[in-house]
Structure 1
Amino acid sequence: NDALQNGTQHRASTRVGVYAALGLSQGVLVCFLLYSGSGEDAGRTQAAPDMLDNKFHTPQSFFDTTPIGRIINRFSKDIYVIDEVLPSTVLMFLGTFFASVSTMIVIIFSTPIFALVIGPLALIYFFVQRFYVATSRQLKRLESVSRSPIYSHFSETITGTSVIRAYGRNTAFVLLSDMKVDENQKSYYPGIVSNRWLGVRIEFIGNCIVLFAALFAVIGKEKLSPGLVGLSVSVSSSAGHYVLNWMVRMTSDLESNIVAVERVKEYSETVTEAPWIVKDKQPPPDWPPKGNVEFIDYSVRYREGLDLVLRNISLEVKGGEKIGIVGRTGAGKSSMTLCLFRLLEAADGEIVIDEVKISEIGLHDLRSKLTIIPQEPVLFSGTLRMNLDPFEKYSDEEVWKVLELSHLKKFVSNQASKLELECSEGGENLSVGQRQLVCLARALLRKTRILVLDEATAAVDLETDNLIQSTIARS
């Protein structure tokens, strides 16, 4: 009977109490981890909304110069790393750190002479980890940058699928995609190789810990009890091959993945447009009462450092007038509409609407009083009513009225779901002419005094063109 021989039946209540305390401590720590996990869920709601809010207020020039794949990359991979990878890495690092500290305490308590080699081994750990992190961080950054063209190419391919198939360019686009993936792998694969480089070296140092723990146990065998020797060797074995290795890995991964925070922070702090509302410069609620628009020596450029696209333009449009602007391609016709909505800011001069300088008021106060029908109609996934009245400001009677004015009432009435007709992404389930008429109905519903048409009938058939022209003439 081993219990009788080694005396473990003595102080049974004390031993049971220790095990009970350990179990209780484990339960408390599990509750703490669950709580920290819920805090992590709350914290992860900040990075993406902050960046999204900044992008909603970013000037148009940013989107003109930034590939869409780079933006998608920030909102997908980088946000995933911040929300999912970094929290688990931090928790793993803290767990392995405290486990490493407790392991070192146990080994030193068992074989005090082991303290002599902790310093040199820690120094080797430090230099290996620094060398790895310096390489890994740059590889991670290069991999993130080279991933953006893959997203851009995929997005462009999906958008132009019909054209690619029509011209038989499927193989060319597949090869182009493969080239971009290969370029990305040039940074991704070395990252895996560097990880294995780190693994070999920290495994070697871990084996050194086991070696020294066993060596010092043999040297001091006359002063140590067999139980302490066994404890020291078993603990050093687990520490060398798991705890310390994972602590170094987690430290390295933490520093490498923190690049995602840097990239998201960069896009969360880009220069934004003018304020949406300027409290002390808000126009009256009924502004503009007449709809007079005046350009005074107005000049504008698309970005700093580029040539002026409009130079010293001066003109006056009276309220109620229907004015057409004619010019060759690139003359600046669309640029004038961008200036009116302050998507481009003035390089010189002013635009005045009913004696109010638009450069002094908030963007929301300005744009909410203007309406534009673009050359390419824009519809969102959702119901027809949502596309006409996204903020639900108008009654069904008013919506039906503008559908009648835009010659869409018959079409919508024949649909089983009426105003709840589902529009697919981009309004693909409607013809181009119907989409343009929906945009016309949306413009009529807003009842603004200034309506801008940027070649609104250029992409529609003659019949739809006549409908739009007649509707505008009556309005």
Structure 2
Amino acid sequence: MKGYYQKSAGELMRINGTTKAPVMNYASETALGVATIRAFRMVDKFFSNYLKLVDTDAKVFLCSTATLEWLVLRTEALQNLTLFTAAILLVLAPKGYIAPGLVGLSLSYAFALTGTQVFLSRWYSSLSNYIVSVERIKQYMNIPSEPPAIVADNRPPTSWPPKGRIKLVDLKIRYRPNAPIVLQGITCTFKEGTRVGVVGRTGSGKTTLISALFRLIEPYNGRILIDDVDICTIGLKDLRLKLSIIPQEPTLFRGSVRTNLDPLGLHSDDEIWKALEKCQLKDTISELPNLLESSVSDEGENWSMGQRQLFCLGRVLLKRNKILVLDEATASIDSATDAILQKIIRQEFANCTVITVAHRVPTVIDSDMVMVLSYGKLVEYDEPSKLMGTNSSFAKLVAEYWSSCTRD
């Protein structure tokens, strides 16, 4: 009976773990976006969705508690039956066979023993249920680690990459061994010093391509060559230090302006001020009493969204790498800041390879080359002027964008 209970209770605890996480995530996401929710008057809808998640979690928790009571009820019934049987035998025993004082003592001992057994049974069953959390920790302990940061016998030269030429050779990506292939055999070349725009609908594989370039995901098949060096043969640190990225969600860390622009302490104050001047943050920071030591709170909450994006631009201006990736960098900023960002990138990275994952289609109109992805496949890769002159997928995306702008 206990074995039957433990299997059922263990599975219920695992299910309860999957229903509890959505409640926590939904609450934290709602807290972060509460201003937007109130602005669109969607409070009732979010509260209703939250109650549904709580009810789902409560149902599983109630079933888990009910299984424990099911076990305790049957255990107590069996133990009470044992106690009752022992009492009947003691009472019906022939006179003189058992000393009269031993009857009460035996009954008291049997009653205490059954109570202890019920307590231990409940305690052991609860412990068995909570061991499920230890199983999850053990699973995380066995997750494979990232490749080494430095491969001692295969380090690229300090001047690598001298040109910034990127070559994709039959690149295939999947997130797990048994998962479907997300990028399906992409082969193309990003020439050095060119601006390449990557466009496609949601789920086409744009972000996956960028993740593969930084080796956040290892290629399932194929290679990525940067100036004839296979990036999978070198260390992660040697690779990522040579690549710059301005992400869609600008990331700032708790600390100072200096540590956010130059976290490794590789640049002088003069270089930092020049970078701030180029990204148009010099005047703002010059007015602060602590200058470069001015504080930055968690996730940069004391700075506006546009300023956080300009902070990220200042980082890449300091590094001066040959390859720059813009992962929908203008998706969360206004058009004016977008124009400033694009102007600075054109001026400061004229000789670099710039890969732009587009959110606004006009962002890639002036690119040298445009890559169009669809369901993980390379549909088109050509100059935007040539693609616009035909009935191409890129031309259709541009037409849809302008039609939606006209309706708005």
When the two structures are superposed, what TM-score results if normalisation uses the length of structure 2?
A: 0.71
Question: Does residue 261 of structure 2 align to residue 388 of structure 1?
Answer: yes
2:54 to 150, 168, 181: 181
2:196 counterpart letter in structure 1: I
Once the 2 structures are TM-superposed, how far is the Cα of residue 434 of structure 1 from its aligned partner?
0.9
Name the structure 1 match of 2:354.
none
Partner of 1:130: 3
Q: 1:239 pairs with 94, 113, 127, which one?
A: 113
Checking the alignment, whether the CA contact within 8 Å between 1:340 and 1:351 is kept in structure 2 is yes
Does 1:418 find its partner at 2:287?
no
- Aligned equivalents of 2:230 and 2:15: distance in 1? 46
Q: Is 1:431 aligned to residue 307 of structure 2?
A: no
Shift of 1:165: 1.7
What is the deviation of 1:143? Answer: 1.7
**Residue 186 of structure 2 corresponds to residue 311 of structure 1:** yes
1:329 paired residue among 200, 204, 207: 200
Letter in 2 for 1:239: L
State the distance in 1 between where 2:102 and 2:268 align.
83
d(CA) in 2 for partners of 1:327, 1:244: 67
> Which piece of structure 1 moves more, 463-472 or 438-447?
463-472
Residues 328, 135 of structure 1: CA spacing in aligned structure 2 closer, same or farther, 3 A cutoff?
closer
Count how many residue pairs are aligned between Structure 1 and Structure 2.
342
Residue in 2 that maps onto 1:338: 211
- Give the aligned residue type for 1:167: F
> Could you tell me whether the CA contact under 8 Å between 1:381 and 1:426 is conserved in 2?
yes
Matched-pair contact (CA < 8 Å) for 1:290–1:449: yes
> Per the alignment, do residues 157 and 296 of structure 1 end up closer, same or farther by CA in structure 2, a change over 3 Å counting?
closer
SS at match of 1:326: strand
Say what the alpha-carbon RMSD is for the aligned residues. Answer: 3.3
Give the direction of change, closer, same or farther, for the CA distance of 1:440–1:415 in structure 2 (3 Å limit): same
Match of 1:299 in 2: 171
- Structure 2 Cα separation of the partners of residues 189 and 458 of structure 1: 44
Between Structure 1 and Structure 2, which shows a larger proportion of strand residues? 2
> CA contact under 8 A between 2:72 and 2:121: conserved in structure 1?
no
Give me the whole-angstrom Cα distance separating, in 1, the residues matched to 2:259 and 2:282: 16
CA 1:185–1:337: 2 relative to 1, 3 Å:
closer
The secondary structure found in structure 1 opposite 2:197 is: coil
User: Aligned residue for 2:130?
Assistant: 257
Identify the residue that residue 378 of structure 2 maps to in structure 1. Answer: none
From the superposition, tell whether residues 316 and 251 of structure 1 become closer, same or farther in structure 2 (CA, over 3 Å): same
Verify: 1:276 aligned to 2:149, yes or no.
yes
Distance 2:293 2:30 in 1: 31
Q: 1: distance between equivalents of 2:159 and 2:100? A: 92
Identity in percent: 37
TM-score w.r.t. structure 1 length? 0.62
Deviations 1:263-311 (A, max 9, x none): 3333443455444333332223x14162432315343445452364662
Per-residue deviation, 1:467: 4.5
How many Å separate the matches in 1 of 2:132 and 2:295?
41
Tell me which protein shows more helix as a share of its residues: 1
Deviates more, 1:436-445 or 1:192-201: 192-201
Cα displacement (A) at 1:366: 0.7
| In the alignment, structure 1 residue 290 sits paired with structure 2 residue 162 | yes
The question of whether the paired residues in 2 share the 8 Å contact of 1:300 and 1:345 is answered with no
Q: Do the aligned partners of 2:190 and 2:196 also contact (CA within 8 Å) in 1? A: no
Q: 1:246 Cα deviation (Å)?
A: 1.7
User: 1:198 corresponds to which residue?
Assistant: 71
Which of 1 and 2 has greater Rg? 1
2:386 maps to what in 1? none
Gaps of 5+ in 1: 1-126
Counterparts in 2 of 1:371 and 1:130: CA distance versus 1, 3 Å: same
CA deviations on 1:198-248 (whole Å, 9 max, x unpaired) are 23333334434554665566548847667766654444332222x211211
Distance 1:326 1:313, change over 3 A: same
Say whether the 8 Å CA contact 1:400–1:409 is kept in structure 2: yes
Match for 1:427: what amino acid? Answer: G
